[in-house]
Amino acid sequence: MFEGRPDRDDEIVLVGRSNVGKSTIMRELTGHSVPTGQKPGVTREPNHFDWSGQSFMFTDLPGFGFMSGVEGEHREAIQTDIVHYIENNAESILAAVLVVDGKSVIDIIDRHSDRGEIPHDVEMYHFLEELGVPTVVAVNKMDKVDDKDERLNDLCDRLGLFPPWQQWDEEVIAPITAKAGRIDSLRTALQGHIRDAKRDELLQFVTA
């Protein structure tokens, strides 16, 4: 079980598979470096970034799914801890950012579906939805995607959202390239959720 959560009333959490760029997004949002690496699974515990003047923080949760050099049993334990963290703090989560790799997400989802398994990304999206946590799907690494509209429409389809993706682009679907600092669509979506929560004083933290 994750321990040591800072005493903050509200947070925005980043969740997703290993190596999809959550820590890079965290760096773009906070302006501070957090541990990143080429190997999946660098983040094994939540990384919290908070401000002393506001009862608010960003939380980068560990990646789920395959991690090089990490045994299956430990991977499952991390995923269970992620689920418990979100459940236990759902009322404090202003928004969850589900980060996916725009280049590979459809293949990964379909591979698991073809095996008769529920894909982790889809399962996490619906889990957050059931908890009533406002969720933005940050589709990262879009600079590597040629058929952008087709790929994003396919993602909507896999998540149970009606295409075209553009009807969700200021609320649910945010195509980004975090490594190049292009996360404006994510910032816009988070601004909307902060306004919905009547916490306008926190807009400064999601404005470039």
Q: What pLDDT shows up at residue 81?
A: 92
Average pLDDT over residues 81-97: 96
Cα 152 to Cα 44, 113, 121, 130, 173, distances in angstroms: 29, 18, 14, 23, 8
Q: What pLDDT shows up at residue 25?
A: 96
In this structure, whether the domain defined by 10-206 belongs to CATH 3.40.50.300 is answered with: yes
- Determine the Cα–Cα distance for residues 104 and 151; give it in Å rounded to an integer: 10
Cis peptide before 164 (omega within 30 of 0): yes
pLDDT at 68 over 60: no
- Determine the Cα–Cα distance for residues 187 and 115; give it in Å rounded to an integer: 36
pLDDT in tens, 106-141: 999 999 999 999 899 999 999 999 999 999 999 999
The encoded tokens of residue 103 equal 């280049």
pLDDT at 38 over 50: no
Q: What pLDDT shows up at residue 173?
A: 96
pLDDT cut 70: percent of the chain above it: 90
- Determine the Cα–Cα distance for residues 82 and 14; give it in Å rounded to an integer: 11
Q: What is the pTM of this model?
A: 0.92
- Determine the Cα–Cα distance for residues 42 and 38; give it in Å rounded to an integer: 8
Q: What pLDDT shows up at residue 36?
A: 47
- Determine the Cα–Cα distance for residues 138 and 83; give it in Å rounded to an integer: 19
pLDDT in tens, 6-31: 889 999 999 999 889 999 999 999 98
Query: Which helix (H) or strand (E) covers residue 80, if one does?
Result: helix 72-89
Q: What pLDDT shows up at residue 71?
A: 59
For the chain, which residues make up each domain, given as ranges?
10-206
pLDDT at 70 over 70: no
Average pLDDT over residues 80-102: 96
- Determine the Cα–Cα distance for residues 141 and 145; give it in Å rounded to an integer: 7
Q: What pLDDT shows up at residue 22?
A: 93
Expressed in percent and rounded to 5, the helix, strand and coil fractions of the chain are 45, 20, 35
